[in-house]
Amino acid sequence: MAMAKPRESPWERRTVNVNFGLRTLLLLVATLLFLVAVFSDTNQGDWLSWGLAVFAFSFVIGDLGWDRRYGSSTTRP
């Protein structure tokens, strides 16, 4: 039976670096707008239009190079 090194933590307790870019956040907003449009009885076209605009803008942001990653950027040895 092999013993684990004292410096290593079990897989369940290791931290995961999550990086959200501007494109990811805009896509999440677009998804929420589409969901509101699906369940909305009034102004469904407005919600859908805003969702499409945010969706398109997320790709424009990426193509312009403004998509930066936010979150922890620590590296482990």
d(CA 29, CA 52): 10
Reading the chain (77 residues) residue by residue, the pLDDT tens digits are 555 555 665 666 667 676 778 888 889 999 999 999 999 888 889 999 999 999 999 888 878 877 666 665 555 44
Report the predicted TM-score, pTM, of the whole model to 2 decimal places. Answer: 0.62
Q: Which residue stretches of the chain are H helix?
A: 22-39, 44-64
What's the pLDDT at 2?
59
d(CA 57, CA 22): 10
d(CA 33, CA 28): 9
